[in-house]
């Protein structure tokens, strides 16, 4: 174990990382992997991953990491053998791009333009009809009831067959819920109920964040989904960008960050071609971060608002209740400058020195713990309200009723991010826990897997020269009694190797390698995914 990671810097002068941002073709059938080591005999099922797979159409490039057309990947593990398969999601974005050999639907950071071959009147008409919302579901894939859905952050999700990877149907969430989209990071309760959160632009331009509930297994659970809590936005026409949220047994934890979606820009730009989703974001540099703890259906936790200094937030790690507090662990990026500004492909595919220079300007990453007191009394003004023995995080009540939070830093390293966090979710979501697993980024380049003890701040690292891993998914050993008894699964790309990609299986306790399954193809960057046990 290392207490800090300066010693773990790996330089990337060969720029092999560029390979994870290059287009690939789908496979016609699964290909066998070559196994080194021993795959645990109990590990049987499929690792499903989503990410961009096509980074240009014809001679038109996609510009942002969240633009490439969605590719679903699958590693099947059975009787110690492993196969790999992948297929493009047949979204409207994909089908029409293939048909017209150009970008037809505007993506996160790439604008679509009217077809230059059409006559001037139809082109003019297309300009003012406004851009269509993308259904390019490249961010995550997860189960809803018996089915699997590939998702992004718009109102469209796509049902996928987890065995054949065939695209089954496109679902418009707006038909069932008053939301303009949901995050790609839902929470699942022990009974299979799914909770998620999304922005809702209502009548008279009113704005709210809606927490949504999808009931457990029912023939079509999405049809039975409903909004359970509505939170008002602190700025009338500028909701905060939400990528994930926290959930304990009794509370939802929502962080309103200073990265905002300017609704007026969204509505006006959307009617003129040439604008993208990225053009509609802005940062409120005068705003810190406010957060609300919300009870399961009774509205706000209290009349108090929790505030802290500005940060960007994409991923919650975990949240739990303890002795009258809600403890919230987050992967933060300091300041209000939007981190996605640094994820343009030109940035990520630069020479190593350029990549480093760009990352120096970006917000600094830090894993933080915040502690929210549930029991607040007027007479406690000016005092630290946190009396938990195991944290240095503080909460101070101000005269205006706001509670100022200062975090405990759980992990920090120069230009070193701990991101794409995972925990032993089935056993420890919403519970006091010890271990988080993450993808280590050096200047935004994924180059290691990190295990973090959130109580002692001890870290363990898996890293190998010229290897670019992805989010590590935790799979518990059947019947395990220890929190970290299980394996981590990560898709790793090693561009120079004879077989340039592999599924890495690590012992989650020691972070040592148990096995790898090498495949003879490059696998581009994947964002999130899920492990589907053999039925």
The number of residues in the chain equals: 535
CA distance linking residue 123 with residue 125, whole number of Å: 5
Mode of pairing for the β-strands spanning 69-78 and 156-160? unpaired
Question: Is 398 assigned a ligand-binding role in the annotation?
Answer: no
Helix (H) or strand (E) holding 507: strand 501-507
Measured CA to CA in angstroms, residue 258 lies from 235, 272, 338, 516, 527 at distances of 11, 26, 9, 41, 24
Give the sheet arrangement for strand 167-172, strand by strand: 140-144, 147-151, 156-160, 167-172
CA distance linking residue 472 with residue 503, whole number of Å: 10
Residues 6+ apart with CB under 8 A from 524: 19, 20, 21, 22, 23, 24, 51, 52, 53, 55, 68, 71, 493
Helix (H) or strand (E) holding 253: strand 251-256
CA distance linking residue 364 with residue 359, whole number of Å: 9
Number of neighbouring beta carbons within 10 Å of residue 44: 15
Question: Is 12 assigned a ligand-binding role in the annotation?
Answer: no
Strands, E assignment, 323-424: 325-334, 365-373, 394-397, 402-406, 408-411, 416-422
Within 13 A of 347's CA, how many CA atoms are on the CB side? Answer: 19
Query: Bridge-partner residues for 450, per DSSP?
Result: 438, 461
CA distance linking residue 124 with residue 114, whole number of Å: 8
Query: Bridge-partner residues for 468, per DSSP?
Result: 493
CA-based nearest residue to 26, from 4, 6, 54: 54
Residues 6+ apart with CB under 8 A from 335: 310, 311, 312, 363, 364
Helix (H) or strand (E) holding 123: helix 120-129
Question: Is 243 assigned a ligand-binding role in the annotation?
Answer: yes
Q: Report whether 361 contacts 369 (CB < 8 A).
A: no
Helix (H) or strand (E) holding 461: strand 459-462
Q: Is the dihedral of CA 337, 341, 346, 349 positive or negative?
A: positive
CA distance linking residue 402 with residue 384, whole number of Å: 13
Three-state secondary structure call for residue 121: helix
Question: Is 528 assigned a ligand-binding role in the annotation?
Answer: yes
Annotation: binding site for Fe cation: 185, 243, 315, 528
Annotation: binding site: 185, 243, 315, 528
């Amino acid at each position: 174990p290392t207490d800090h990671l300066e010693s773990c810097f790996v330089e990337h002068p060969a720029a092999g990382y560029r390979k994870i941002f290059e287009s690939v073709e789908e496979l016609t059938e699964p290909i066998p992997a070559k196994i080194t080591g021993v795959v645990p005999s109990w590990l049987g099922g499929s690792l499903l991953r989503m990410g961009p797979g096509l980074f240009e159409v014809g001679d038109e490039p996609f510009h942002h990491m969240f633009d490439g057309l969605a590719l679903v990947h699958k590693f099947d593990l059975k009787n110690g053998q492993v196969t790999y398969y992948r297929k493009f999601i047949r979204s409207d974005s994909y089908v029409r791009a293939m048909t017209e050999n150009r970008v037809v639907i505007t993506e996160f950071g790439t604008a679509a333009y009217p077809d230059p071959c059409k006559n001037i009147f139809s082109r003019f008409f297309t300009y003012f009809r406004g851009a269509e919302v993308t259904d390019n579901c490249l961010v995550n894939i997860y189960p809803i009831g018996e089915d699997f859905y590939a998702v992004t952050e718009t109102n469209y999700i796509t049902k996928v067959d987890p065995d054949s990877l065939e695209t089954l149907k496109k679902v418009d969430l707006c038909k069932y819920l008053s939301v303009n989209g949901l995050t790609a990071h839902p929470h699942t309760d022990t009974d299979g109920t799914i909770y998620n959160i999304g922005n809702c632009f209502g009548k008279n331009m009113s704005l709210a964040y809606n927490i949504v509930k999808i009931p457990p297994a029912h023939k079509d659970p999405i049809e039975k989904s409903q909004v359970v809590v509505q939170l008002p936005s602190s700025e009338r026409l500028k909701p905060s960008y939400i990528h994930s949220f926290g959930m304990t047994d009794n509370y939802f934890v929502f962080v309103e960050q200073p990265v905002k979606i300017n609704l007026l820009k969204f509505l006006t730009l959307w009617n003129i071609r040439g604008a993208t989703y990225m053009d509609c974001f802005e940062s409120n540099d005068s705003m810190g971060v406010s957060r609300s703890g919300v009870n399961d259906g009774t509205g706000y936790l209290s009349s108090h608002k929790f505030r802290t200094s500005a940060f960007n937030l994409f991923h919650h790690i975990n949240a739990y209740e303890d002795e009258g507090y809600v403890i919230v662990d987050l992967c933060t990026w300091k300041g209000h400058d939007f981190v996605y500004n640094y994820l343009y492909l030109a940035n990520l595919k630069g020479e190593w020195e350029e990549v480093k220079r760009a990352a120096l300007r970006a917000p600094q990453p830090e894993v933080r713990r915040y502690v929210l007191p549930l029991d607040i009394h007027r007479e406690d003004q000016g005092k630290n309200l946190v009396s938990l023995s195991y944290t240095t995080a503080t909460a101070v009540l101000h005269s205006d009723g706001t509670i100022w939070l200062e975090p405990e830093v759980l992990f920090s390293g120069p230009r070193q991010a701990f991101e794409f966090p995972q925990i032993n979710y089935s056993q420890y979501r919403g519970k006091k826990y010890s271990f988080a697993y993450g993808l280590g980024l050096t200047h935004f380049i994924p180059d290691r897997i990190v295990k973090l003890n959130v109580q002692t701040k001890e870290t363990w690292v898996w890293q190998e020269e010229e290897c670019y891993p992805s989010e590590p998914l935790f799979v518990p050993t059947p019947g395990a009694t220890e929190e970290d008894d299980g394996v981590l699964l990560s898709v790793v790309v090693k561009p120079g190797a004879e077989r340039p990609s592999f599924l890495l299986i690590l012992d989650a306790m020691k972070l040592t390698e148990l096995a790898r399954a090498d495949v003879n193809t490059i696998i581009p960057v994947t964002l999130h995914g899920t492990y589907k046990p053999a039925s």
